[in-house]
Amino acid sequence: MRRALIVATLVVLAGAAPALATTVHCADAKSEVALEYDVLDDVVTRVQMQIAGNFGISTDPKHKDYSGETITEQYLGNDLLMVNLRVGGEGEPALQLRLGTAYVSRDAITAGVLGVGGGGLWTITCD
Predicted confidence at residue 13, as pLDDT, reads: 40
Taking phi first (over 0 means left), then psi (-120 to 50 degrees means alpha), and beta for anything else, what does residue 12 get?
alpha
Does the pLDDT of residue 2 top 50, yes or no?
no
Q: How many CA atoms lie within 13 A of 54 on its CB side?
A: 1
23: CB partners within 8 A, 6+ apart: 36, 37, 38
| Cβ atoms of 35 and 97 closer than 8 Å | yes
Average pLDDT, the chain: 89
pLDDT at res. 17: 58
pTM of the model: 0.84
Q: What is the pLDDT of residues 80-102, one digit of tens each?
A: 999 999 999 999 999 999 999 99
Q: Taking 50 as the threshold, does the pLDDT of residue 19 lie above it? A: yes
Best CA proximity match to 38, nearest among 17, 14, 53, 19: 19
Reported as a pLDDT band with limits 50, 70 and 90, residue 39 is very high
